[in-house]
Structures are given as structure tokens and as C-alpha cells.
């Protein structure tokens, strides 16, 4: 039996290494008559282009008696996993596009890693989160490499904010002002870390929290990086990471990094993509929102405060006599703060028509622009005295050009199909210009050199229909397929919708959710997630539960989003074994809790996006203008995708058992509710509280911890 060697893999300096890998995997069971160099000429190669042989080799490798059984405990081979791997292999060979939904437990990670590593060439894998990035790099890929005895090299590439910047570290250590004793301690730790680390990755320094504000002063951004002009360029950790990625066979990135590069050309991916044979997006359901964010433009007040800080430090250090840096920076800093104060407190999203007639805001924006231009003029006059001042000049000019454009569009002086809106946070504000659709612009990025594009997630289809996702990403011509979860939902999971609940808009709705949830929390002995659609609901529900747990003397630890970091909350929740966690959007996906620690998932409302969201409202108007239905064609599919993610937290293992409680009775009372629950896994269903409680009590001990 000959080892399948793809035609395209037979060229390039990496081929002999891949050939050695093939021999290591298959010898001594197989011979290699089609893999040897021609005896008459070392430059000629006899290859096989037999896709069927490739699929057969995948079946042997991933079968119950293959090499994975020796490196993965309990591995027995999964038919759906193999079928998915063979479909992906065909996609890779033919340089096609493939959209694959793989339910929890299918084993989609191995299903794309094995054919990708067997095929060879350059592979870019983009994930939804940095946690999944780390999981792939440190656990999954090493496992596949070991099973395949594959010598492929792998690099982990993160955004520049994850790496210590020697230039900014030196400047901060010499000129920076520490606002707290903690920052002073953290700075000393980072200085010591920078001297001993090979990667400069801040996640490798556990003594300084990744959320510590000091990191903003010792890492770089695209705007404040002087590039090759930097005196520390040879020691730059970002450049070292990019060089490693260029030389690696497999590069693991995340979606934010991928799209930041597509738009900003600032992550190193731009240099990787032209050489890539295969691009794989895991957790691909996040792509439309991520792409929308990066294909849009924005200016944030936080960027302006950073600009002020950098200009003052560098101006006083390198051009003290060139301008009144303190005065210029002070005016811009004040104008930035005044701009934020013109809009309501808290987190808000407002369309341009809601604020264009807001005289105080528009006047403050003009004042802000004048202050920014004033600082820009001084920087232009002094930029030649320092590389950093030149970078600051470019940052000021770019921000000024965007604000001028935004103002002109807001006043109706120019026309655009993009959405103008403003987002406010506690102390900051962002001006946005967002495209209505990313399909066309993303398709342009996929043009050029033929390569395989693979999109996979547990939630991409609605009743096995991929149209919603495909239309948003411009993938309507792509082949697609669903592999359902192999778990037995009918026996191990129940969907419960309470019989009597007020409508979600009721002011007493959160109290009703708590009252309906209490019997099930008691029956399950804790081990519950309460997933809310708003932060306000998180506060109301957690406050009520805290009172009731104290009053009833229930021993369930309560974990609330915002009281600690997500990672810390999840770790303590797992260890408690009987905790109740109340969280919002960040806990709906990317969370894996197995065993008795999580037997009950409660969803307060169907996760419809607020209709007053400026981007959503604009998309609905555009859709309806073309004859579509904004609710059925956009809001409902979006809610279904989100709900599928939330429901996916419950069953993570074939031994798991539990109840998904959806408190929103619109799931039953509205005609569209059927479409929603039919898109979920095949739970058994009930509206009887006693039946749901009995299910939680029955055989709960059999669920492995």
C-alpha cells in the first residue's frame, strides 16, 4: 500500500521532512513505492494523486486501532469525526470552501487537525478566543503530532498587546508615573521578566494580572510602534513572534488577530496568508461580528488619552523647547473628557440620528477636533526630532481625518451606506463607522491564490440550514454539512419551560425567574448556571438569590459575573461542586464545565438583540427595503445561534446529565418558538416543574465528576 502524497506537497523545501514524517507514521506496516525519488534523477518524484487512498489512510489513522488509541486515553474512533475529517481532506485537496457544523462531542478539532497536518504546506488556524488558542497550541496539536509522528513546526501568534515592548518598558521605567503601589511593584516584576523571557508573552508572568493597567504602558500599539526605526527592534518580542510564525508550518491565531491584520496590516498574518495552503476558522460563528468590528472604523477617547500621555513624555524628553507640550496635551485631554460628559452615563449605543441634533455633543466634538489639530500642528513641526514624535504625529493625523469624516457624514455633507453611531462606557466613548455587510469585503480577502477555507463550529446552522451564516460571510456557494452531537440528549437532557411566567418586559420578570428557578436549584443540589441577556438582570437575579440562600440557609456558593475575573469564577465554580453562577453574554459560550458541577442551565430570556441597537436597526431597515423580514431573516436567526451556544453549556460529555430551563414562554406561545426549539439538540421536553425536578434528582449521582 502506497502512502498518499499530494501533488502540491511534493514541492518546496518542506517536502522531504513531510516524506520522513509519512515514513515514520506508516513504517513498517506499509511500503512506499510511490514516495521515492526517481532513481534516474533526484529532481523527479513519483507521486500519487489518489484522493480515495488519502481517505483510506485517514480511516486507518483515526480508527480504533490507529495511533491515536496509543496517545489519547479512552480513544475508540468516532464515525462522524472520521466522516468530517474526510470531507475536510477533500476540501484541502481541491482548494475549496467548506462550512461544517459539528455538535458537541463530535471531535471537530481532531477532524480538521489530522487532515491538515497530513496534507502539509502552510496552515493557519484561527480560533474564537485566546483560551482556545492556548488549548490548540499546548494540548491538541501536540497530541496530533505525537500520534502522527509528525515533525511539523507550530507557532502561536498573538496580538502585539500581549507582548512586552522593550521601548515602552524602558520609557516607562525611566519617565513613567505610577499611580499606585501595585503598579510600582508590577513594573519591577515586568522589568525582571523582560530580562529572562524568550517570548515576552505577558501570560507567562503570573505575578502581574493580565488586566493590570500597567500593561498599557509597557506594550505597544500599531499607532505608537516606530517599527524598524526602533532602537530595540532586534530585541522586539513582537517581531520575534512574527518571524517564528513565518517559519512555522502551522500558525495558531485568533479571529481578532486575523481580521486586525486584514484591515490594519499589523499582526504579521498579512505575510503568512499568501503562503498558506489552508485556512481554518474554529468557533466560526463569531466571525460575522468580529469581521464587522474590524472592517469598520472607530476612534476611542482612550486612544486620545494614550496619545496625550505619549506626547507629553516624549515631547518633554526630546523636544522640551519645541512646544508647550503640557498645555497642548492638557487642552486635548480636557476636550476628550468634556466630549464624554455630554452624553448619558453608563453603557449606551446611539445612532447618529439620535445625537446629530445634540448641540452640546456636536459642539464638544468640534472643540475636541480643534484641540487635536492644535497638537497635530506642534507634532508636525517637531516630528523630525524623534521617531516616537513622528509616530505620534501620524496617530494624531489619522484620528483627526476620521473625526472630520465622521462629522461631515453626521451633518449630511457626505453620503455613505455605512452606519454612524456612538458607544459610551463608564468614562470613555467611541465614534464608529460600521459597514452594513462584511460579505463583499471578506470575499475580496479570499480572492487570489487558490487555497482551502474551512469554517467550523458547534453552532452555524438553523435546522441544518446554513443560509444565515453563509449570507453574512459571503459563502453562499460553499459546500456545507452538519454532524449532530453523538450524545444521547433524549435520555440525558431535558428542556423545561415553566408553565406560568409573566412576559419578559414585565418589571417583575427577574423576580419571577428566581422563583421559578428555586425548586430546580434545590433539586439539583446547586451546580447551576443562570445565563442572563443583560447585566441588569445579572444584578437583580444575583441580589435576590443572595437574600434567599441566606434566608433558607442553602449551602450553595454564589458566583456573580463582575465580582471576579471569568477564569477565576469558573475555577472556583468547578471546585465548589454545588455552586450557582449568574452571568451574562461572556458565559454563554466558550465555557466547559463537565460532571455534577453543572447539571442545570437556566436562561432568563430568549436572547434577542435590542432593536434599538444602531447597527442592528440599520441592517433591518436595509433588509426590509429589499423586501425581507427583519425579524424572521435577522433577529430570529441571531437569537437561535446565541441560544444554541447557551444550551451547549449543559451537556459536555457523554456521561453528563441535566436540565435546560428556558424561562421565556414565548418559546411555546409564539409561532416562531417552534423554529427555535427545533434548532436545539433533541432534548426530552416538559412544562411540568415536578417532572423537571424529578429528572434532576434521578440518577444524578451517575454523572461523572
pLDDT digits (tens, 9 = 90+) for 242-294: 899 989 999 999 998 888 776 655 555 567 778 889 999 999 999 999 998 88
Same structural domain, 511 and 637: yes
What is residue 693's predicted lDDT score, i.e. its pLDDT? Answer: 96
For 299-342, the pLDDT digits (tens) are 999 999 989 988 998 999 889 999 999 999 999 999 999 999 99
Same structural domain, 252 and 281: yes
Q: Judge contact between 430 and 406, C-beta under 8 A.
A: no
Same structural domain, 613 and 662: yes
Residue 701 has pLDDT above 90, yes or no: no
For 78-106, the pLDDT digits (tens) are 899 999 999 999 999 999 999 999 999 89
Band of residue 38 on the pLDDT scale cut at 50, 70, 90: very low
Question: Among 434, 459, 462, which residue's Cα sits nearest to residue 632?
Answer: 462
Same structural domain, 577 and 668: yes
CATH number for 666: 3.40.50.300
Same structural domain, 429 and 446: no
What is residue 34's predicted lDDT score, i.e. its pLDDT? Answer: 35
Q: Pick the residue with more confidence: 565 or 19?
A: 565
Same structural domain, 361 and 471: no
Q: Pick the residue with more confidence: 354 or 492?
A: 492
What is residue 528's predicted lDDT score, i.e. its pLDDT? Answer: 96
Q: Is residue 649 part of a domain?
A: yes
What is residue 562's predicted lDDT score, i.e. its pLDDT? Answer: 86
What is residue 358's predicted lDDT score, i.e. its pLDDT? Answer: 75
Same structural domain, 599 and 675: yes
What is residue 121's predicted lDDT score, i.e. its pLDDT? Answer: 87
Please tell me the total count of domains within the chain.
Answer: 3
Mean pLDDT of the chain, nearest integer: 87
Q: Judge contact between 339 and 368, C-beta under 8 A.
A: yes
Rounded CA separation 160/472 (Å): 29
Q: The domain containing residue 591 runs over which residues?
A: 489-702
- Least confident piece of the model among 11-15, 530-534, 676-680: 11-15
Same structural domain, 599 and 654: yes
| Element housing 457 (H / E) | strand 452-457
What is residue 526's predicted lDDT score, i.e. its pLDDT? Answer: 95
What is residue 698's predicted lDDT score, i.e. its pLDDT? Answer: 84
Strand partners, 297: 433
Sign of CA dihedral 407, 420, 423, 225: negative
Residue 2 has pLDDT above 60, yes or no: no
Sign of CA dihedral 459, 460, 462, 464: negative
Q: Judge contact between 9 and 51, C-beta under 8 A.
A: no
Question: Among 600, 595, 607, which residue's Cα sits nearest to residue 582?
Answer: 600
For 610-667, the pLDDT digits (tens) are 878 898 888 898 889 889 898 999 999 999 999 999 999 999 988 899 999 999 999 9
What is residue 308's predicted lDDT score, i.e. its pLDDT? Answer: 94
Q: Is residue 43 part of a domain?
A: no
Q: Final residue of a domain: which of 434, 449, 467?
A: 434
| Element housing 307 (H / E) | helix 301-318
Question: Among 280, 270, 247, which residue's Cα sits nearest to residue 110?
Answer: 280
The proportion of the chain whose per-residue pLDDT surpasses 70, expressed as a percent, equals 90
Q: Judge contact between 660 and 496, C-beta under 8 A.
A: yes
Residue 14 has pLDDT above 50, yes or no: no
What is residue 84's predicted lDDT score, i.e. its pLDDT? Answer: 96
For 522-539, the pLDDT digits (tens) are 999 999 999 999 999 999
Q: Is residue 202 part of a domain?
A: no
Q: Is residue 9 part of a domain?
A: no
The secondary structure of 430-462, three-state, reads EEEEECCCCHHHHHHHCCCCCCEEEEEECCCCE
Residue 378 has pLDDT above 50, yes or no: yes
What is residue 30's predicted lDDT score, i.e. its pLDDT? Answer: 34
Same structural domain, 537 and 663: yes
Same structural domain, 543 and 566: yes
Bond preceding residue 209 cis, omega within 30 of 0: no
What is residue 31's predicted lDDT score, i.e. its pLDDT? Answer: 32
C-alpha cell at 556: 450553595
Q: Pick the residue with more confidence: 447 or 144?
A: 144
Q: Is residue 159 part of a domain?
A: no
Helix (H, G, I), strand (E, B) or coil at 102: strand
Rounded CA separation 331/341 (Å): 15
What is residue 268's predicted lDDT score, i.e. its pLDDT? Answer: 56
Q: Pick the residue with more confidence: 216 or 84?
A: 84
Q: Is residue 686 part of a domain?
A: yes
Q: Is residue 298 part of a domain?
A: no
What is residue 150's predicted lDDT score, i.e. its pLDDT? Answer: 86
How many beta carbons lie within 10 A of that of residue 349, not counting itself? 18
Same structural domain, 287 and 340: no
For 579-604, the pLDDT digits (tens) are 999 999 889 988 889 998 999 999 99
> Where does 527-595 show beta strands of DSSP type E?
528-531, 558-560, 580-583
Q: What is the rounded average pLDDT of the residues 430-452?
A: 88
Same structural domain, 57 and 84: yes
The proportion of the chain whose per-residue pLDDT surpasses 90, expressed as a percent, equals 60
What is residue 262's predicted lDDT score, i.e. its pLDDT? Answer: 67
Q: Is residue 533 part of a domain?
A: yes
Amino acid at each position: 500500500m502506497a502512502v498518499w502524497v499530494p501533488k502540491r506537497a511534493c514541492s518546496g523545501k518542506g517536502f522531504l521532512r513531510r516524506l520522513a514524517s509519512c515514513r515514520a507514521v506508516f513504517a513498517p506496516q506499509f511500503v512506499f513505492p510511490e514516495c521515492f525519488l526517481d532513481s534516474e534523477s533526484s529532481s523527479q518524484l513519483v507521486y500519487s494523486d489518489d484522493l480515495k487512498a488519502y481517505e483510506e489512510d485517514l480511516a486507518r489513522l483515526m480508527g480504533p486501532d490507529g495511533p491515536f488509541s496509543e496517545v489519547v486515553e479512552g480513544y475508540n474512533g468516532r464515525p462522524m469525526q472520521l466522516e468530517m475529517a474526510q470531507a475536510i481532506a477533500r476540501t484541502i485537496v481541491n482548494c475549496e470552501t467548506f462550512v461544517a457544523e459539528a455538535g458537541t462531542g463530535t471531535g471537530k478539532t481532531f477532524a480538521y487537525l489530522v487532515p491538515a497536518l497530513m496534507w502539509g504546506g502552510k496552515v493557519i488556524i484561527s480560533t474564537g478566543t485566546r483560551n482556545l488558542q492556548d488549548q490548540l497550541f499546548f494540548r491538541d496539536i501536540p497530541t496530533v503530532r505525537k500520534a502522527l509522528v509528525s515533525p511539523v513546526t507550530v507557532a502561536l501568534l498573538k496580538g502585539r498587546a500581549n507582548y512586552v515592548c522593550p521601548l515602552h518598558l524602558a520609557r516607562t521605567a525611566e519617565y513613567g508615573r505610577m499611580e499606585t503601589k501595585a503598579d510600582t511593584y508590577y513594573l519591577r516584576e515586568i522589568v525582571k521578566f523582560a530580562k529572562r523571557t524568550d517570548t515576552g508573552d505577558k501570560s507567562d508572568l503570573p505575578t502581574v494580572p493580565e488586566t493590570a493597567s500597567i500593561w498599557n504602558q509597557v506594550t505597544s500599539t500599531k499607532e505608537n510602534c516606530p517599527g524598524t526605526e526602533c532602537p530595540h527592534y532586534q530585541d522586539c518580542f513582537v517581531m520575534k513572534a512574527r518571524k517564528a510564525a513565518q517559519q512555522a508550518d502551522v500558525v495558531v491565531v485568533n479571529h481578532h488577530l486575523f481580521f486586525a491584520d486584514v484591515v490594519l496590516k499589523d499582526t504579521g498574518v498579512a505575510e503568512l496568508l499568501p503562503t498558506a495552503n489552508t485556512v481554518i476558522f474554529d468557533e466560526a460563528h463569531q466571525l460575522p461580528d468580529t469581521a464587522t468590528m474590524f472592517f469598520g472604523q472607530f476612534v476611542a477617547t482612550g486612544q486620545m488619552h494614550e496619545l496625550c500621555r505619549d506626547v507629553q513624555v516624549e515631547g518633554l524628553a526630546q523636544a522640551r523647547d519645541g512646544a508647550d507640550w503640557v498645555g497642548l496635551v492638557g487642552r486635548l485631554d480636557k476636550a476628550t473628557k468634556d466630549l464624554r460628559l455630554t452624553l448619558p452615563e453608563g453603557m449606551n449605543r446611539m445612532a447618529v440620528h439620535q445625537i446629530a441634533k445634540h448641540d452640546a455633543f456636536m459642539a464638544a466634538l468640534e472643540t475636541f477636533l480643534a484641540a487635536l489639530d492644535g497638537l497635530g500642528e506642534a507634532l508636525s513641526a517637531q516630528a523630525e526630532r524623534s521617531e516616537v514624535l513622528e509616530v505620534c504625529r501620524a496617530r494624531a493625523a489619522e484620528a483627526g481625518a476620521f473625526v472630520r469624516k465622521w462629522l461631515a457624514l453626521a451633518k449630511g455633507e457626505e453620503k455613505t451606506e455605512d452606519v454612524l453611531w456612538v458607544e459610551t462606557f463608564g468614562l470613555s466613548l467611541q465614534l464608529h463607522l460600521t459597514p452594513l455587510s462584511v460579505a463583499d469585503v471578506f470575499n475580496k480577502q479570499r480572492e487570489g491564490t487558490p487555497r482551502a477555507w474551512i469554517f467550523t463550529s458547534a453552532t452555524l446552522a438553523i435546522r441544518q440550514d446554513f443560509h444565515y451564516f453563509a449570507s453574512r460571510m459571503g459563502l453562499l456557494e460553499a459546500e456545507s454539512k452538519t454532524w449532530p452531537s453523538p450524545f444521547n440528549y433524549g435520555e440525558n437532557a431535558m428542556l423545561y419551560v415553566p408553565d406560568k411566567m409573566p412576559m419578559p418586559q414585565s418589571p417583575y420578570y427577574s423576580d419571577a425567574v428566581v422563583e421559578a428557578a428555586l425548586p430546580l436549584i434545590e433539586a439539583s443540589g446547586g451546580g447551576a448556571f443562570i445565563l442572563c441577556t443583560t447585566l441588569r438582570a445579572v444584578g437583580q437575579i444575583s441580589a435576590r438569590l443572595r437574600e434567599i440562600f441566606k434566608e433558607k440557609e442553602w449551602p450553595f456558593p454564589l458566583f456573580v459575573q463582575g465580582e471576579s475575573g471569568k477564569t477565576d469564577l469558573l475555577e472556583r465554580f468547578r471546585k465548589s461542586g454545588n455552586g450557582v453562577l449568574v452571568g451574562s453574554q461572556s458565559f454563554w459560550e466558550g465555557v466547559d464545565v463537565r460532571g455534577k458541577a453543572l447539571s442545570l442551565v437556566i436562561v432568563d430570556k430568549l436572547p434577542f438583540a435590542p432593536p434599538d441597537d444602531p447597527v442592528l436597526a440599520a441592517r433591518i431597515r436595509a433588509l426590509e427595503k429589499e423586501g425581507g423580514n427583519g425579524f424572521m431573516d435577522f433577529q430570529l436567526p441571531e437569537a437561535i445561534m446565541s441560544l444554541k451556544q447557551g444550551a451547549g453549556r449543559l451537556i459536555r460529555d457523554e456521561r453528563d446529565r441535566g436540565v435546560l430551563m428556558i424561562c421565556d414562554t414565548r418559546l411555546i406561545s409564539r409561532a416562531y418558538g417552534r423554529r427555535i426549539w427545533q434548532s436545539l439538540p433533541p432534548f426530552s421536553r416538559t412544562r411540568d416543574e415536578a417532572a423537571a425536578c424529578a429528572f434532576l434528582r434521578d440518577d444524578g449521582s451517575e454523572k461523572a465528576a
